[in-house]
Amino acid sequence: MNVEMGEIAEKEKVRPKVKDAKGILQQNREFLDFFWDIAKPDQEIRLSAIENLIQYLQKSEQPDELEYSVQRLVDGLSHTREVARPGFSLALGQLLMAFGDIPLQSLLDRIKQKHNLQNTKKKLVRNALFGNFFGVLALSQSNRLSKESKVVLGCIKLLQTLSQHRDHLKDLPTKTMMDILSDTPEEVFEEVLKGALKTELSSAFRTPEQLHLLLVAMQRFPRSFTPKNLTKLLGSSAVITADNVQKLSELLKTAAFSVKKDCTLPTVAVDLLKLSLTEGSFTLFWTKVIVGGMLREQQGPTHYLAYRLLGTALPLLSLEQLEEVLSGDVMRHYGEHVTSAQKPGRFQLAPEMETYVTDFLQGTQDPDKQLAVVVGFSKVTNWGNPVVASSWRAVQHLGAPALRRYVCWLKTSFLAPALDAGLEFSTRKQKTAAAEKTQKENQHMRLRKWLVARLISLVENHSVKKDEDLVMDVARFVFFHAFFVAKKATSDIPETEAKLSVPLDESTRATLVGGFFGLLHTMHHLPLLGEPAEPVPAEPVSGGRRVQGVTADGSMWIHCLVQYADALLNKPKHVQSALPFSPEQRTAWDGMNVSVASLMKKAKKEASPEIHSFQQLLMLVGFHLFKNPEELVDILQDIQSCIKKAQEKKKKRKSQAKEELEPHWAEVVVDILLSLLSQSSRHIRQVCKTVFASICPHVTAASLTVILELLDTDKDDALVVTDQDPTKQEGEDQEMKDGENESSDEDEEEEEDEEEEEDDDEDDVDDDEEEEAMVEGEVDPNFRLELMKVLQQQNALATEEDVSDEEDLDDEAMMSLDAGLAALFSEQKKKMEAKREQKFKVTKERTLIIEFKMKVLDLLEVFVSKQAGSPLVLGLVEPLLGVLERSHGSDRHQQDQDFLRRVADIFRNQLCRSKVYCKTAGDRQAELHDLLEKLVHKAQKHTDSSVSLYFFSASLYLVKVLRGGLPSAETTEGKTPEAPSSQDLQSLGSVEVERVSALFREALCSLMTRRNSPLTGQMFVDLCNRFPALGVNILDTAVQNITAGVREHQQGQACMMVLRMVQNRDVQQLLAGQPWLELCVKLVEQLVATLKEVGECQSKVSQEKLAKALELCQFLLKNIKTKNPSVSVGPLQVVLGSLAEAISLKKTGGLDDTYWAVMKHFGVIRPKVEKVKKPEEPAAPQATSLPKKKGFLPESKKRKNRNKQGEKEGEAAPTAAVAPGDKGPSKKKNKRKPKRKHTDEGASPAKKAKPQSGNKPGANKKSKKQGAGAD
């Protein structure tokens, strides 16, 4: 059908009614290509073609071409390809705009004549309809239509005719009428269009499109639609009346379902909303049409229309109307939708609503309206829990006045929760009596948890426009209700003036405690909120870092809260602590304040990171005193004593004997920090890291030993793991957000799966037990014995004597048997649960241990980065290697692997490869040499190459430490670095060159002589690159092993090492002169010897050895030619010349190129190989090499070729030997053999194996039949 339509269209295209068409076609091919490009689907090509066509016609100024273009574009309006029609319509509109002398009336007549519906065949009616429509669209796009009233009338009448064909055009004609009306002057509408559109306007309540047409006309021409005229037109003086409510509801329902797939808001609904505000009938429209009409339907498109209309109406409504809408049924239904749409796969409108609210808050500056909208959405609650997230990002666009009032509303709602004043709703499953009684008690708790999270998120969100007073107000409020209770109001403490209407429960208070410490962490990283009043150095800033954690006047946020907490503790008549302090705890708190005050005084005189970090630590531990007073009293006192000892370093010390009995103050601080790291607080972790960084210069070896012992995997059992209550953990894991999500998830489960969970709990446990038993693969023998005993007691076991089929047990016996089995299985169930709990406990303890070790690694990483030049760092080498050695290669979990990866990173990248290292070995030279020897021996004995690499890297680090700094580096400080001199290269400081060289020479021999050595050649290449003097000493050993290696692999490794070493410029500088000449002679001898041993090079190892030997030859010959021409290379040339005949180089890939590159140094040019054309192969193999063509027979299937193959088979048949007693193959079988052989020859090896591994079902059946016949 489409082909026929295309043929008809092509026939009609060939006959353009143009004078001198032959001359135009022959004149310019470029002109005709414009029309082909206009019909292409690519939009950029179409737009470019239209632009080029207009420019071409304006330059040519030939009427024949213009007439041909008009005719061609009119014909293209009904193109068979739908993509081409809009292009021709746009081109025609642009043409009419560029050439104003073209009459629109004649063009409209031409369009009607060309696309006449009465004279069009039935198959082409759709194309003709679109041709008329796109023609009118082109006229409207010309911007000339409003100037000619007759043409406007003709277009409207044509569109009215087209609107009857909704099957093809849908609502496109009506929308085009609206576009024409929007550009038509009022005089033209009164004179021409009003009468023409009377039928459509009077039947506005028939379809949504006609209603939309009326609404557009009323907006465009309000004078023409006075109440009197509307009465004549519609029978009522307004559109929205009580009589028209039902009609409007039905029309909006139809419009809602029409845009179901588009997920958009119909324009007619927006226009109706605007009209209701203009007519003053908004309340009637909202209550009757939206609430009474749309929401009565089931959840679906009508509800989504109401929600979207609500979001669109926010900027249009007054404050009273906003409060009315946001407290109505639409918001309640929206809350139900948000609650039910949280499951995956369901449509969620919440993101769209958030966009509506965001646009509203950005567009309006009225604080009353902003507050009304935000509070309205916060009041929609499901059993106390608001449906909007506590981290709702829309509030970041609130103005400062509205934000301040919103915070006041949140605080008031927390103190006196008014659930009746909000939009509370329950789902169907939640409305049961038992559920209501349970959840009603928790409504206040759920609401208060959300309010706390909402308050804290306002401070955490950096996009919220807040000031310091607001932040401090929120922090004071959360801290007060987390740890205190108001007894009597006082003006000094505003939080005591309003009391709680409902007392706080333990869960809410735990949420407040966790929220406060999370808020404290946020305030520690809070940037400056205002211009600083005066530059107080509260925190030392370096490198252009932003100042964080301080107010505008330079005081720390945490210190402001400490002052507030101290004020609360000093007013026992008005405020009572939730956990009252004991006298010892109060003394510790007061001592903390005194220490902080003294540190602040010293900071004003001399600011230092150490003083600032100790202030942070003291105040943070002081706040944790409110949470765990019994555990942290001793820690707080120890911190204060350590600070005093640290401050006495400039004063007169006590006696030496007494100091030896007491531990160093830095050791005590490290112990305190390690004990604090067991707390699950990110803030404590960061503060401990800061404090440790400040005391790194004072850390002793004993402190490092304590840290390293905690990392030892063999001592994990010694660690005491304390599992804290998750409700008491802080904001590190964002528990409040998780709690909020948990509440919403509970609602979903209660709504959908409450009954199923109650019925299937026992089944799930039994299934888990069965799965666990299947995994274990064995049954508990004790359980089996107990089961046998129960069955034997009731004579329920079948024996050989029981041959009767009658039941031996009566009802009472069966009941007692059931009771015994139930008790036995219940006991077994408890045992399995205890086993699972124990397994879960062990896993959790292991997780906590790894997390604690990761925190300890923070301290170790800080010390390595801060004190890389300290001699204490040398004591980290062996313990870290021990951790890597014991943990590597074992079957560990992901957390263990992360821990091991972090340890390896600290050891290799931050310790061994650090540019800063200990350059003064002092009296530890002998100790370091012994350790170096020990590490090199361990690197040789290890079985894992990766672990061996760690030991070898450590040995290179020790060599660097023993060498110390280079002399030239000390004399040229501050200048541009220069190339090291030969004196610097030979200088190895305190290194015993002979001993160390012998050590690495022994390791190299181990690599060359052992079959499975963990060492690699790259290790010794690194040794040579970093210490050329040592590399020169082991170079002779590497040269000898070019031929002395135990296997070809080792010999190839020796060639590679020698090549990398002699390429090093430092090595060349050290061996300059006679040593280099002697080395070249030795290399020539070794290469001649090793190349004589080369065989056919069929194995991969042999090829690799030969490739590395040739690379070494190439470098050596190039060096000898330029620097040492006296060295004889004749024997090498002879060996290389005979090498081409001994092996086939063409089969070894790039080895052929390397060989001829070497021979080029001897003047031997690679022979040119003439390409010989291969003889043409028969057609059969060519057919197999090409992809099969679908729908064509292969050559072997054709009759003529099949006959030829039969003749060949007949000729070959006598030569085939047939075993005696066997039947010869049938004709069919003979015919198939060459085809299978033919396909096998052209197939890949993988495809060849298929017919051998298993035959087709058809072949099996035939072979069975043949075998049966033979029998």
SS3 for 986-1014 is: HCCCCCCHHHHHHHHHHHHHHHHHCCCCC
CA distance 671 to 699: 11
Closest listed residue to residue 153, CA positions, set 119, 128, 181 = 181
- Res 218: pLDDT: 87
Task: List Cα–Cα distances, 1011 to 31, 223, 689, 1004, 1008, in angstroms.
Answer: 80, 102, 47, 13, 8
How does DSSP assign 884-909, residue by residue? HHHHTTS---HHHHHHHHHHHHIIII
Instruction: Mean pLDDT check: name the lowest of 705-709, 1106-1110, 1221-1225.
Output: 1221-1225
Question: What type of residue sits at position 388?
Answer: V
Mean pLDDT of 427-445: 68
Residues facing 490 on adjacent strands: 493
The predicted structure's pLDDT at residue 656: 46
Report the range of poorest mean pLDDT among 84-88, 119-123, 467-471, 1233-1237: 1233-1237
Say yes or no to pLDDT of 772 above 60: no
| Burial status of residue 337 (CB atoms within 10 A of its CB: 0-12, 13-18, 19 or more) | buried
pLDDT band at 1229 (very low <50, low <70, confident <90, very high): very low
Measure the CA dihedral 653/658/664/665, to 10°.
-60
Residue showing tokens 């720390």: 556
Residue 712 region by backbone torsions, left for phi larger than 0, else alpha for psi between -120 and 50, else beta: beta
Query: Hey, which residues does 527 pair with through a beta bridge?
Result: 548
pLDDT at 1002: 93
Which residues are within 8 A (CB) of 57 and not within 5 positions of it... i.e. 6 or more apart?
65, 66, 69, 95, 98, 99
At 415 the pLDDT is 92
Residue 510: its pLDDT value, please?
92
Res. 1197 pLDDT band, cuts 50 70 90: low
In DSSP notation, 379-401 reads: TEEETTEESS-TT-GGGGG--HH
Helices (H) and strands (E) in the chain, counts: 61, 5
Residue 305 and residue 299: Cα distance in Å, rounded?
11
Instruction: Inform me whether the pLDDT recorded for 363 exceeds 50.
Output: yes
Which SS3 state, helix, strand or coil, does residue 424 take?
A: strand
AA identity, residue 475? A
Cα 261 to Cα 980: distance, rounded to the nearest angstrom: 74
- Higher per-residue pLDDT: 481 or 647: 481
Q: Mean pLDDT across the stretch 326-342?
A: 88
Angle at which helix 1048-1063 crosses helix 993-1009, to 10 degrees, equals 140
Q: Which residue has the tokens 């004196």?
A: 983
Is 539:520 a contact under the CB 8 Å cutoff? no
Using CA atoms, how far residue 1245 sits from 169, 307, 1102, 1147, 1248, in Å, is: 60, 65, 26, 19, 5
Question: Among all chains, which residue has been given the structure tokens 């998780």?
Answer: 738
Q: How far is CA 1092 from CA 614, 1039, 1096, 1134, 1135, in A?
A: 74, 16, 11, 10, 7
Please say whether the beta carbons of 965 and 919 come within 8 A.
yes
**How high is the pLDDT of residue 1040?**
92
The dihedral sign for the CA sequence 1082, 1083, 1086, 1087 = negative
pLDDT of residue 1234: 45
Residues 6+ apart with CB under 8 A from 495: 476, 477, 480, 481, 486
Name the DSSP class of 548: B
pLDDT, residue 885, reads: 86
Flag whether pLDDT at 972 surpasses 50: no
Q: Name the residue with tokens 């690694």.
A: 857
Bridge partners, 1156 (sequence order): none
Collapsed DSSP state (helix, strand, coil) of residue 493: strand
Are 1020 and 953 in contact, with CB atoms under 8 Å apart?
no
Quick check: 1247 pLDDT over 90? no
- Of the two residues 437 and 317, the one the predictor is more confident about is 317
**What was the pLDDT predicted at 649?**
55
Residue entry with tokens 């109401």? 306
pLDDT (mean) for 1146-1153: 66
Average pLDDT for 58-64: 84
Across the range 405-427, mean pLDDT stands at 87
Query: pLDDT tens digits for 813-864?
Result: 777 777 877 887 888 888 888 888 888 888 888 888 888 889 999 999 999 9
Higher pLDDT, 1026 or 798: 1026
CA atoms within 13 A on the CB side of 951: 25
The three-state secondary structure class of 575 is strand
Tell the burial category of 25 from Cβ atoms under 10 Å away from its Cβ (0-12, 13-18, 19+).
middle
Mean pLDDT, residues 642-665: 61
Supply the pLDDT for residue 728.
41
Identify the H or E element spanning 856.
helix 811-866
For 10, the token pair is: 């092509």
Q: How confident is the model at residue 310 (pLDDT cuts 50, 70, 90)?
A: very high
* Statement: residue 711 has pLDDT above 60: yes
In the predicted structure, residue 73 carries a pLDDT above the cut 80: yes
Give the type of residue at 600.
M
Q: Are strands 575-577 and 423-425 parallel, antiparallel or unpaired?
A: unpaired
How high is the pLDDT of residue 714?
66
- Comparing CA positions, the residue from 382, 306, 393, 303 lying closest to residue 339 is 382
Burial of 1087-1113, coded b for 16+ CB within 10 Å and e otherwise, reads bbebbeebeebeeeebbbbbbbbbbbb
Tell me the mean pLDDT in the region 451-468.
91
The SS3 of residue 1226 is coil
Confidence of residue 605 (pLDDT cuts 50, 70, 90): confident
Question: Please, which pLDDT band fits residue 1195 given cuts at 50, 70 and 90?
Answer: low
The CA-based angle 837-840-845, given to 5 degrees, is 125
User: How far apart are alpha carbons 158 and 142 in whole angstroms?
Assistant: 17
Residue 343 has what pLDDT? 75
Residue 823: per-residue pLDDT: 81
Residues 6+ apart with CB under 8 A from 204: 210, 211, 213, 214, 234, 239
For residues 341-369, average pLDDT? 88
- Give the model's confidence band at 761: pLDDT under 50 very low, under 70 low, under 90 confident, else very high: very low
CB 400 within 8 A of CB 361: no
Percent of the chain with pLDDT over 70: 76
Beta bridge partners, 386, equal 381
Query: What gap in Å lies between CA 227 and CA 1197, rounded to an integer?
Result: 86
**Taking the mean position of all CA atoms in its chain, how far away is CA 98?**
52
Mean pLDDT for 694-716 is: 83
Residues 9-19 have pLDDT tens digits of 334 444 444 44
Decide if pLDDT at 72 tops 70.
Answer: yes
Considering Cα of 760, then 765, then 770, then 774, what sign does the dihedral take?
positive
pLDDT level of residue 866 (50, 70, 90 thresholds)? confident
The average confidence (pLDDT) of the chain is 78
Question: Which of these, 947, 939, 1055, 1039, lies nearest to 999 by C-alpha position?
Answer: 939
> What pLDDT is stored for residue 481 in this prediction?
93
C-alpha closest to that of 730 among 480, 513, 476: 513
3-state helix, strand, coil in the chain (%, to 5): 70, 0, 30
Contact of 279 with 222, CB cutoff 8 Å: no
pTM of the model: 0.73
- Cβ–Cβ < 8 Å for 90, 141: yes
Cα separation, 928 vs 918, in Å, equals: 12
| Nearest by Cα to 309 from 329, 286, 288, 327 | 286
Task: Give the integer Cα–Cα distance in Å for 537 and 607.
Answer: 7
How many residues belong to the chain?
Answer: 1271
Give the model's pLDDT for residue 1037: 92
Q: Looking at 29-43, 185-199, 540-554, 1103-1117, which range is the least confident one?
A: 540-554
Q: Which residue has the higher pLDDT, 613 or 1098?
A: 613
Give the residue with greater pLDDT, 893 vs 913.
913
Residue 1021 CA to its chain's centroid (Å): 40
With cut-offs at 50, 70 and 90, classify the pLDDT of residue 8.
very low
- Rounded CA-CA distance 552/535 in Å is 9
1009, with CB counted inside 10 A (0-12, 13-18, 19+), is middle
The CA distances from residue 451 to 342, 386, 397, 478, 561, in Å, are 21, 9, 19, 11, 21
Mind listing the pLDDT tens digit for each residue in 536-566? 444 444 444 567 888 888 888 999 999 999 9
Residue pair 925/996 in contact (Cβ under 8 Å)? The answer is: no
Buried/exposed code over 201-220 (b: 16+ C-beta within 10 A; e: otherwise): beebbebbbbbbbbbbbbeb
